[in-house]
Structure 1
Amino acid sequence: MAIVVLRELREDMSEEFGPGDPLARIEKVHAAPADPSVPEFPDDRTFCGKPSLDMERLNYQPSGPDASWLPPDMSPWECPHCAEALRSL
């Protein structure tokens, strides 16, 4: 099964610079099944059930069948529910 890795972002206002544009911060990194008709895009929901529409796609593919779905530099933000769902596949 092909998967798409997505970042869920939240917007925080910077306290250092006063009012202004919000800064995007990573909330969680999720996995979603690839859309069957367009494999480079995610299906409607992640493996944990969240809507994928407002999430940002990461340009990452595991290097092999036993490689982690999660980019190594994103491990602090791993969605535990997506990880658990992928382990059960």
Structure 2
Amino acid sequence: MTIVVLRELRKEMSQDFGPGTAVSFIKAVHAAPADSDVSGDPDDRTFCGKPTLDMERVNYQPSGPSAPWLPPNMSDWECRDCADVLRSL
């Protein structure tokens, strides 16, 4: 099964409350099954059930079956629910 790694971003206003746009920060890193119709795109929902529409794709593919599903530098934001589902597959 091919998975797609996605970042769920949270928005925060600038610290000075001045004009400008919100800054994006990682809220969580999720996994979703690949869409069966469009190669490389995620399905509509992550393994934990969240919609993938507003999530950002991470350019990462595990190097093999025993490799981690997410990049090691993003492990602090791992979605535990997605990880649990992936372990049970």
* TM-score greater than 0.5 by the shorter chain: yes
Whether 1:80 aligns to 2:56 is no
- Deviation for aligned residue 1:54: 0.6
The answer for unaligned runs of 5 or more in structure 1 is none
The answer for unaligned runs of 5 or more in structure 2 is none
Whole-angstrom distance in 1 between the partners of 2:16 and 2:67: 39
Aligned to 1:12: 12
Deviations 1:9-53 (A, max 9, x none): 011012146332100010000000000111300000000000001
Whole-angstrom distance in 2 between the partners of 1:82 and 1:16: 36
RMSD: 1.1
Aligned to 1:51: 51
Preserved contact between residue 2 and residue 39 of structure 1 (Cα < 8 Å): no
SS across alignment from 1:81: helix
